[in-house]
Amino acid sequence: LGSHSTETAVPIPTLERLSTYLRYLLELEGDGVETVRSSELEEHTGISAAQFRKDLSYFGEFGKPGIGYYVSDLRRRIATILKLDSEQLVLLVGAGNLGSALVAYPGWEQYRLRIAAVFDNNVAKIGRRLWDLEIFDIRKMPELNRYLESRMGIIAVPAPAAQSAADMLIRSGVRAILNFAPATIRAAPDVAVRTVSFIQEMAVLSYCLWTGTPECGRP
């Protein structure tokens, strides 16, 4: 009885590119550009025009033949598809250097995301502040999230602490997790987890460097 499994599920690579389209469209919108053609998108993002149109086709029709796409309209519609059309709160675990960089990131608002609370298990940090946010004891998370009702979380703790951070997030109601620790997170299938390990990215780059592999992933 999976919610709606047979409706030609959207491939994950399509979703990843969708967020690249959104980023590019935000840029164009900021520059006051009114319309954009798929060929222009290819030039600027490296994603082929055919791929772009195919990706959009999973969600409906967005352009005008002979014209292209209205930037603001398409930007808004992609944001809606990605559920970035109303504010979502995010819980952050880990008040270290990475956590600090994440809180200070100036781009959250554009995506209607907001870090609502920061947690750590280090008593020396609990009660102090990370920028304008109080650092809470990680054990207070379930209680705090009863009224925050956040469903997204970020793990910015060292690898050995990543799984327990995930467990705590899930126990608090979070169902989508971005994990920065180089560790595998085990979670029930109803929890979406993505791991971004920059040290692993460096390893891939190292191989590409020495073997001269161009197109080392991501356009």
Near a copy of itself in 88-147, by CB under 8 A: 88, 90, 96-98, 100-102, 104-108, 111, 113
Nearer to a copy of itself, 142 or 219 (CB): 219
For residue 9, the minimal CB distance to DNA (Å) is: 7
**Interactions with a copy of itself, residue window 51-90 (CB under 8 A):** 81-84, 88, 90
For residue 115, the minimal CB distance to a copy of itself (Å) is: 11
Nearer to a copy of itself, 74 or 152 (CB): 152
Other C-beta atoms closer than 10 Å to the C-beta of 30 total 10
Indicate which of a copy of itself, DNA, none lies near residue 33 (CB less than 5 to 8 Å, by partner kind): none
Residue 169 is a binding residue for a copy of itself (CB under 8 A) = no
Residues found near DNA in the complex (CB under 7 A): 11-14, 37-39, 48-51, 53-54, 56-57, 61-69
The residue range among 49-57, 118-126, 164-172, 194-202 that interacts with a copy of itself, by the rule CB under 8 A, is 194-202
For residue 12, the minimal CB distance to DNA (Å) is: 7
Nearer to a copy of itself, 66 or 86 (CB): 86
Please provide residue 37's backbone torsions phi and psi, each rounded to the nearest 5 degrees.
-100, 155
Nearer to a copy of itself, 134 or 201 (CB): 201
Distance, CA of 86 to CA of 80 (rounded, Å): 9
